[in-house]
Amino acid sequence: MKLNNKWLNGAIPALLIHCSIGTVYCWSLLKDAIATQIGCTVASIEWAFSLAIFFLGMSAAFGGNLVEKNVKRSAFLSTFCFTAGMIGTGIAINLGSPVAVLLCYGVIMGIGLGIGYLTPVKTLMMWFSEHKGLATGIAITGFGLAKVIASPIIQFLLSVTTISNLFFILGASYCILMIIGALLIKKPQLDELKGAAFGLKDSIKFILNKQFLAIWFVFFLNITCGLALISQEKSLVNACGLGAYVGIIASLTAFFNSFGRFGYSTISDTFKIRSRVYEILFFTSALACVLSWFAGFSVGGSLTIYAACIILMLVVCNAGYGGGFSTLPSLLSDKFGMKNVSVIHGFALSAWAWAGLAGNQMGNYVIAHFGNTWLFIILALLYALSFLITRFIISKAE
């Protein structure tokens, strides 16, 4: 039985929790129906998703001590907040209240997202101590796969019932799955890896650490770039003449997002310097953006080349976006040790909160005012900056 504990008490509960909360990435399938039912504009309800990502990052930043102290308690808290937020969103839709949607979907569900995202990560790394990249890849791939699994279910439910009933059905279903995960999750008995609570002074001192600041900043840039592309994916695909295939391309990029989460983190176990993985994903993402920028000048002559470069960029950058998430916990444990990795990981995830506010808006603004090619230039420069910081600050210190 002990040989199976890492799966029964680590991998399975991690997947149950992350495959539930990762449904937040299905927002694009839900927002139009919510706005129509309430009778408001999509733009006014769009902030629900931004708030959910913001509170995800901030609740993770402040929830690390809870996860270190009692992983089951944090799993149950995540279950309560996430499912209460979903069911509350359904009630808010029936009431016709945009403010209540922002509160339930954005704030309450967002808190459940952050605590739930953080909960299984250290537990998995403790069970898979020799393959920490593989361990984090298992959990965080589940977060990416949630969209692939839930999208057809949501499309079906939208065709047979109301948007509010959809939230009730999903909320109840995920509540069951997450409770099972919370009951199963358990850390191995490794006393030497039990963390001590971070006080305010400890937290401030750590957050100002040069290495941590460098990791936080490149993580922020990677998410900002990724969200800028994800938010503009449909318009970019339409611009290169492939609007009829937008669904297929969206599924393709979602697959590579999930593949990057598992692939990059697993490969990182073979690198002596784990941050080399970040160098690879930043370099390839910058190169893909440059190719799309260059091809943008030949749209009139070769739309096929332009389309191929756009798809390549979306695939490569989505894989890097996912890989950045999954490799982060292992990188942090290599840099700062395992004892308080939940707290440290939570601090780093605060970058997700701010990138969630910056990425979508940047993509919208640049394309609306300057066009697609300028977005490619800006993204290439940001990826290049991330590569340089990783190469000469993060990797150099290992």
pLDDT score for 390: 96
Return the pLDDT at 109: 97
Q: 57-108 pLDDT, tens per residue?
A: 899 888 888 888 889 999 999 999 999 999 999 999 999 999 999 999 999 9
Tens of pLDDT, residues 38-62: 998 887 888 898 899 899 989 988 8
pTM, full prediction: 0.83
* pLDDT of residue 196 exceeding 60: no
pLDDT value of position 301: 54
For 109-155, how does the pLDDT look when each residue is reduced to its tens digit (9 = 90+)? Answer: 999 999 999 898 888 888 887 787 887 787 788 887 888 888 889 98
Tell me the three-class secondary structure of the chain, residue by residue: CHHHHHHHHHHHHHHHHHHHHHHHHHHHHHHHHHHHHHCCCHHHHCHHHHHHHHHHHHHHHHHHHHHHHCHHHHHHHHHHHHHHHHHHHHHHHHHCCHHHHHHHHHHHHHHHHHHHHHHHHHHHHHHCCCCHHHHHHHHHHHHHHHHHHHHHHHHHHHHHCCHHHHHHHHHHHHHHHHHHHHHHCCCCCCHHHCCCCCCHHHHHHHHCCHHHHHHHHHHHHHHHHHHHHHHCHHHHHHHCCCHHHHHHHHHHHHHHHHHHHHHHHHHHCCCCCCCHHHHHHHHHHHHHHHHHHHHHHHCCCCHHHHHHHHHHHHHHHHHHHHHHHHHHHHHHHHHHCCCCHHHHHHHHHHHHHHHHHHHHHHHHHHHHHCCHHHHHHHHHHHHHHHHHHHHHHHHHHC
| Res 327: pLDDT | 92
pLDDT confidence bin for 255, thresholds 50/70/90: confident
Q: What is the pLDDT of residues 361-383, one digit of tens each?
A: 888 888 888 888 899 999 999 99
Q: What domains lie within the chain, and their CATH numbers?
A: 1-184 (1.20.1250.20), 196-398 (1.20.1250.20)
Q: pLDDT for 168-189, tens place per residue? A: 999 999 999 999 999 999 888 7
Which of 168-172, 181-185, 292-296, 326-330 is predicted least confidently? 292-296
Is the pLDDT at 157 greater than 70, yes or no?
A: yes
**Percent above pLDDT 70 for the chain:** 94
pLDDT of 299 higher than 70: no
